[in-house]
Chains A and B, each alone.
Chain A
Amino acid sequence: MMDRDALTLRNPEQELRQFTGRALTLWVFLALAILLLVLRLFQLQVLEHDRHAARSEKNRIEVQPIAPPRGEIYDRKGRLIAGNLPVFSLMVVKERVDDLEATLALLETLIGLTAEEREAFQGRLVRRRRPLEPVTLRLRLDPEAMARVAVNRHRLPGVEIEAGLLRHYPEGDLLAHAVGSVRRLSEADLQRVDPIAYSATRFIGRLGVEAHYERALHGAVGHERVETDARGRITRTLDRTPPRAGHNLTLHLDRDLQAAAVAALAGRRGAVVALDPRTGGILALASTPSYNPNDFIWGLDAEGYQALQQDRDQPLFNRSVRGQYAPGSTFKPLVALAALTEGVTDWERSLKDPGYYQLPGQSRKYRDWSWTAGNGGGQGVVDLRKAIYRSSNTYFFDLGARLGPEPMASVARAFGLGRDRAVDVFGARSGLVPDGGWKQQAQGQPWYPGDSLNYAIGQGALLVTPLQLATVAATLANRGRPVRPRFLMASDARLPELAPTPLPPLDQFSQADYAGVIDAMEAVVHRGDQRFGENGTAWAYIGQDIPYRMAGKSGTAQVVEIPQGEEYDEDALEERQRKHAWFMAFAPVEAPEIAVAVLVENGGGGSQIAAPVARAVVDAWLLPPDSQVAQVAQQ
């Protein structure tokens, strides 16, 4: 070492100078490097501050939607028919669960999951949903299960107990077809509605009033801004915008009248629609058999749903607004009005009824309902009034032949057939009003004179719904002032349905003719104690002890073929081939307060089968409860 030191020429002075130079250079370099860091921080913290601040907020703040309580629905007397039930549900946020199987196994030991629950849960899990959306495992937790889950919360990441409101229909199946129901919100629903407004909502109105007034009933979603940590756990709530509850609705419906209607149908397949002719308010709208809408909310298993769907009696089918049937003889009062207006007949004109009608130059006999193979039948000398109260086909064949299709189509349309005139009836069908143009287009055939004959007695292609026929009854009750059927009577929301634009009165028909037709319809119910074949068709069944004046008209619609979608079943075939029974009525005649249409599928004769149902409904509406009780006691 010393040798090398001696050999090399070391110059401490120069080494110090050189080191100092180097140190200075490096010091400048350091200063610049630190300046670089400062500039970088300046860039991040000052120049880009807003962007990073926003991202930091987005990181920690989660906006959680709060579902608005759905508006409640009441009947006209303020009785709850659709409300909300507070429930605690067990929810799973899959994204936050570390091990789903282990979590389910733990829940199994804690609260004992059923196989159906697991299955339904797995089904909901694979369905498409929003990210981080909780999936229901059990809709209603009892307090003990809740406590067990709460105590073990730390072992159950991603499992939450959610307090919520669940739609509840206290009347069960009574009002199902009128009020409708809500169903679980689906992916397809989210395509139709504003996904933000529905971000917390789990059910949506799918049928009936619930569907039509979805917007008013839903309310406005609220928001809660919460702070979450990197694992998504909520650390605190920052602020809260409460949801706005949905609007409450009060309907024209009367729960008791509805119950009376359902009771009167007595388990048969059929429909009853009752309107207040003054307003068009729907007082009762029943379709039997019915279903319990609560089942769809509590979760119907696949079997239960299939059973409902495949039931031959079609409980899910709303006959009152979606069932389209030939009106049969209930169409005759309208044909009478058309014929009087067209000058084809008048109240004095009469003809002799041989029991059948023949078109000039044709051999085919169009039979009256009184015709029998044995004695030929016939109802003697028939004028227009008798043609209505005796429901003479022969007389109306004659009118049909001379009217042709257009005037009949025109009167049908004037009374609201062939279209949906209801203000707020969800899914109401239009029925069908045929005419020459329609037949050419639909069947590629010209209109034959025989078609006009069928038309005049409400058979053939003409189709109406019970709701439409009730509207016809109401319009007749109003002597030509049409009404639009509606459910809504009052609401805390200012809904356009509360004041629908009134329809112009049907002035093309004279008041004298209305009076004549109503008089004839009154005779249907009240003309009695005459010799055979002279009583009103419904008198024997409902008119003998009726304490108020009712105008009515029966109808019997032929069922030519087995309805679609039904299997061949020999035992049931005969019953299902029977005619549909119709009856329309309004009362009291002098100042009508209720107009009713009754349909009983395959019921047979309208007067015999449908008229008593109509009477029971009108009784329930017009008579004080005690006298109804008295009547029941009398029977």
Chain B
Amino acid sequence: MSAADFRRTLSRDDGFDRRQRWLRRLHLDLPLLALVLLTAAYGLVVLYSALDRDWLAFQGQLSRLAVAFVVMLIAAQLNLAMLQRWAPVLYGLGMVMLVLVLLVGVQAKGAQRWLGVPGLPRFQPSELMKLAVPLMVASFLADRPLPPTGKTVAWVLALIAAPALLIGLQPDLGTAILVAAAGFAVLLLSGLFWRWVLLAGLLGLAALPGLWMVMRDYQRQRVLTLLDPESDPLGAGWNIIQSKIAIGSGGLFGKGLFEGTQSHLNFLPESHTDFIIAVLAEELGFLGVLGLLTLYFLLLTRGLYIATQGRDTFARLLAGGLTLTFFTYLFVNVAMVSGLLPVVGVPLPLVSYGGTSALTLLAGFGVLMAVATQPKPLAA
């Protein structure tokens, strides 16, 4: 091999490295970025239809997404070690705000979810907890021997339960579930013994009647509606009946973009927010939904892969936890809209109209990118 050949090979490697280094310097993970952009773009198309081609509203969502992307880029730059150190502070701050929400929060639509500070946009502390809880739990567990001992698990459960309960009191069951799920995801990834998981599951089943007792009337109604939506087709059952009709009538190929009758003639409620997947299913059919679920699955796969490549336990737990939170989002939403779970207010990630959840989600992806781009310490 001549020296020139060697140089040429080297320079080619060099070029490849340079690109990698460029992305690495910006703390971006190309596959994850591509998947997020692709999913968001697909979601925007569906949203445009769900908004009845209302260009103004669509522009609003577009600018909110742009802000969220900036937040993602910033989150990607965060130093993991610092993040771990600041986790308890963030968590504590969040808890204080959750208590404040219950005491002095702004009420809207029968729930008290917002903190209004004059001069600032309204703020929903429960959204912050979607990130703060997995951060806190990951940070907590990373300092302890794994798999976690019973005492550690008890502490973690307390860390999860406290915010979840406060959010549940607002009441905002959907977010409470997501926050709890985020915490549990981290716990599961930390190597929690399966037999404990199994035991907890059995206990949970046994506790269901008790849960029924403490549920509010409207929540019980939602469960009953899930079991038999036709019992009140024009009332409680309306949403789920109409969304099933929308999904089912889409068939294999759908009625065509903008052609969904269920959504455009207002039979489908919340068509641009929580029930947007019904619009997708109606207009683009089974194949259209399959496409979105494939994107989601690839995102999840990439997320978990990044987690396994994390530089330390904290990074791994955090990345894994955020990925699983994302999964919880989409699973609860799709299962709810398709009539597998009772109706809870969980938006479809990256697709539903609204800025707050997009902000939290993309911040989460930013953290994932931070994990992906911060190398393992050489000593390890």
Q: Are B286 and A41 in contact (CB under 8 A)?
A: yes
- Closest A residue to B269 by CB, please name it: A230
- Closest A residue to B310 by CB, please name it: A19
Task: List A contacts of B312 (CB < 8 A).
Answer: 12
Once bound together, how far apart are the Cα atoms of A49 and B191, in whole Å?
43
From B248, B267, B290, B307, contact of A23 by CB (8 A) = B307
Q: Are B296 and A12 in contact (CB under 8 A)?
A: no
A30 part of interface (Cβ distance < 8 Å): yes
- Closest B residue to A12 by CB, please name it: B380
From A40, A51, A59, contact of B338 by CB (8 A) = A40
- Closest B residue to A19 by CB, please name it: B316
Rounded to whole Å, the gap between the CB of B324 and the closest CB of chain A is 7
Task: List B contacts of A59 (CB < 8 A).
Answer: 242, 245, 261-262, 265, 267
Once bound together, how far apart are the Cα atoms of A49 and B245, in whole Å?
9
Interface hits, B263-300 → A, CB 8 Å: 265-267, 281, 285-286, 289-290, 293, 296-297, 300
From B250, B289, B308, B338, contact of A19 by CB (8 A) = B308
A364 part of interface (Cβ distance < 8 Å): no
From B188, B285, B331, contact of A45 by CB (8 A) = B285
**Residue interface bits A221-234, CB-to-B below 8 A is 1, else 0:** 00000011111000
Q: Are B147 and A18 in contact (CB under 8 A)?
A: yes
Q: Are B146 and A18 in contact (CB under 8 A)?
A: yes
Rounded to whole Å, the gap between the CB of A114 and the closest CB of chain B is 36
Once bound together, how far apart are the Cα atoms of A231 and B267, in whole Å?
9
A15 part of interface (Cβ distance < 8 Å): yes
**Residue interface bits B300-317, CB-to-A below 8 A is 1, else 0:** 110010011000110011
From B242, B245, B265, B334, contact of A229 by CB (8 A) = B265
Given contacts A40-B340, A41-B289, A45-B250, contact A60 B147 (CB under 8 A): no
Once bound together, how far apart are the Cα atoms of A9 and B189, in whole Å?
19
Once bound together, how far apart are the Cα atoms of A46 and B185, in whole Å?
33
Task: List B contacts of A231 (CB < 8 A).
Answer: 266
> Which of A9, A34, A37, A40 has the largest count of B CB atoms less than 10 A from its CB?
A37
Q: Are A53 and B248 in contact (CB under 8 A)?
A: yes
Once bound together, how far apart are the Cα atoms of A30 and B261, in whole Å?
33
- Closest B residue to A21 by CB, please name it: B191
**Residue interface bits A13-57, CB-to-B below 8 A is 1, else 0:** 001101110110011001101101110111011101101110111
Task: List B contacts of A15 (CB < 8 A).
Answer: 146, 191, 313
Q: Are B301 and A27 in contact (CB under 8 A)?
A: yes
B320 part of interface (Cβ distance < 8 Å): yes
Interface hits, B91-145 → A, CB 8 Å: 143-145
From A4, A10, A16, A41, contact of B247 by CB (8 A) = A41
Once bound together, how far apart are the Cα atoms of A16 and B147, in whole Å?
11
- Closest A residue to B294 by CB, please name it: A34
A499 part of interface (Cβ distance < 8 Å): no
Q: Are A52 and B267 in contact (CB under 8 A)?
A: no
Q: Are B145 and A10 in contact (CB under 8 A)?
A: yes
Interface hits, A49-93 → B, CB 8 Å: 49, 51-53, 55-57, 59-60
Task: List A contacts of B220 (CB < 8 A).
Answer: none
Given contacts A46-B251, A52-B244, A53-B248, contact A40 B335 (CB under 8 A): yes
A441 part of interface (Cβ distance < 8 Å): no
B156 part of interface (Cβ distance < 8 Å): no
Given contacts A9-B145, A48-B248, A227-B261, contact A37 B338 (CB under 8 A): yes
Query: Main secondary structure on chain A at its contact with chain B?
Result: helix
A571 part of interface (Cβ distance < 8 Å): no
A8 part of interface (Cβ distance < 8 Å): yes
- Closest B residue to A41 by CB, please name it: B289
Q: Are B261 and A56 in contact (CB under 8 A)?
A: yes
Q: Are A60 and B245 in contact (CB under 8 A)?
A: no
A235 part of interface (Cβ distance < 8 Å): yes
B252 part of interface (Cβ distance < 8 Å): yes
Given contacts A44-B248, A45-B286, contact A60 B265 (CB under 8 A): yes
Given contacts A26-B188, A60-B267, contact A52 B380 (CB under 8 A): no
Q: Are A53 and B251 in contact (CB under 8 A)?
A: yes
Rounded to whole Å, the gap between the CB of B272 and the closest CB of chain A is 15
Task: List B contacts of A26 (CB < 8 A).
Answer: 185, 188-189, 304, 320, 324
B46 part of interface (Cβ distance < 8 Å): no
**Residue interface bits A532-567, CB-to-B below 8 A is 1, else 0:** 000000000000000000000000000000000000
Q: Are A52 and B316 in contact (CB under 8 A)?
A: no
Task: List B contacts of A1 (CB < 8 A).
Answer: 143
Q: Give the size of the chain A interface in residues (CB under 8 angstroms).
A: 45
Rounded to whole Å, the gap between the CB of B362 and the closest CB of chain A is 20
B32 part of interface (Cβ distance < 8 Å): no
Given contacts A18-B146, A40-B335, contact A27 B261 (CB under 8 A): no
Given contacts A23-B307, A45-B285, contact A30 B248 (CB under 8 A): no
B249 part of interface (Cβ distance < 8 Å): yes
Q: Give the size of the chain B interface in residues (CB under 8 angstroms).
A: 52
Q: Are A33 and B331 in contact (CB under 8 A)?
A: yes
Interface hits, A212-243 → B, CB 8 Å: 227-231, 235
Interface hits, A459-490 → B, CB 8 Å: none
- Closest A residue to B250 by CB, please name it: A45
Task: List B contacts of A230 (CB < 8 A).
Answer: 265-267
Task: List A contacts of B297 (CB < 8 A).
Answer: 30-31, 34
**Residue interface bits A183-213, CB-to-B below 8 A is 1, else 0:** 0000000000000000000000000000000
Given contacts A18-B191, A44-B244, A60-B265, contact A4 B143 (CB under 8 A): yes
Given contacts A52-B247, A53-B248, A56-B262, contact A22 B191 (CB under 8 A): yes
From A16, A37, A53, contact of B293 by CB (8 A) = A37
Task: List A contacts of B296 (CB < 8 A).
Answer: 34
Given contacts A23-B308, A37-B338, A40-B340, contact A30 B300 (CB under 8 A): yes
Task: List B contacts of A42 (CB < 8 A).
Answer: 286
Once bound together, how far apart are the Cα atoms of A22 and B141, in whole Å?
15
Task: List A contacts of B285 (CB < 8 A).
Answer: 45
From A19, A40, A53, contact of B320 by CB (8 A) = A19
Once bound together, how far apart are the Cα atoms of A33 and B313, in whole Å?
26
Q: Are B380 and A46 in contact (CB under 8 A)?
A: no
- Closest A residue to B261 by CB, please name it: A60
- Closest A residue to B278 by CB, please name it: A44
B258 part of interface (Cβ distance < 8 Å): no
B327 part of interface (Cβ distance < 8 Å): yes
From A8, A23, A34, A49, contact of B145 by CB (8 A) = A8
Once bound together, how far apart are the Cα atoms of A19 and B245, in whole Å?
42
Q: Are B286 and A37 in contact (CB under 8 A)?
A: no
A626 part of interface (Cβ distance < 8 Å): no
A101 part of interface (Cβ distance < 8 Å): no
Given contacts A33-B327, A49-B248, A229-B265, contact A38 B300 (CB under 8 A): no
- Closest A residue to B320 by CB, please name it: A23
Task: List B contacts of A235 (CB < 8 A).
Answer: 265
- Closest B residue to A54 by CB, please name it: B249
> Which of A30, A45, A49 has the largest count of B CB atoms less than 10 A from its CB?
A45
Once bound together, how far apart are the Cα atoms of A18 and B317, in whole Å?
12
Task: List A contacts of B244 (CB < 8 A).
Answer: 44, 52
A5 part of interface (Cβ distance < 8 Å): yes
Q: Are A56 and B293 in contact (CB under 8 A)?
A: no
Q: Are B248 and A51 in contact (CB under 8 A)?
A: yes
Task: List A contacts of B267 (CB < 8 A).
Answer: 56, 59-60, 229-230
- Closest B residue to A51 by CB, please name it: B248
Task: List B contacts of A227 (CB < 8 A).
Answer: 261, 265
Once bound together, how far apart are the Cα atoms of A432 and B146, in whole Å?
111
A sample of 6 more A-B contacts (CB under 8 A), given A18-B191, A20-B308, A37-B335, is A12-B380, A19-B320, A26-B324, A27-B304, A56-B245, A229-B267
List 6 tightest A-B contacts by C-beta distance, closest first: A52-B248, A56-B249, A229-B265, A45-B286, A230-B266, A44-B248
Chain B positions near chain A (C-beta within 8 angstroms)? 143-147, 185, 188-191, 242, 244-252, 261-262, 265-267, 281, 285-286, 289-290, 293, 296-297, 300-301, 304, 307-308, 312-313, 316-317, 320, 324, 327, 331, 334-335, 338-340, 380
A–B pairs, 5, beta carbons within 8 Å: A23-B307, A41-B247, A44-B244, A56-B245, A228-B265
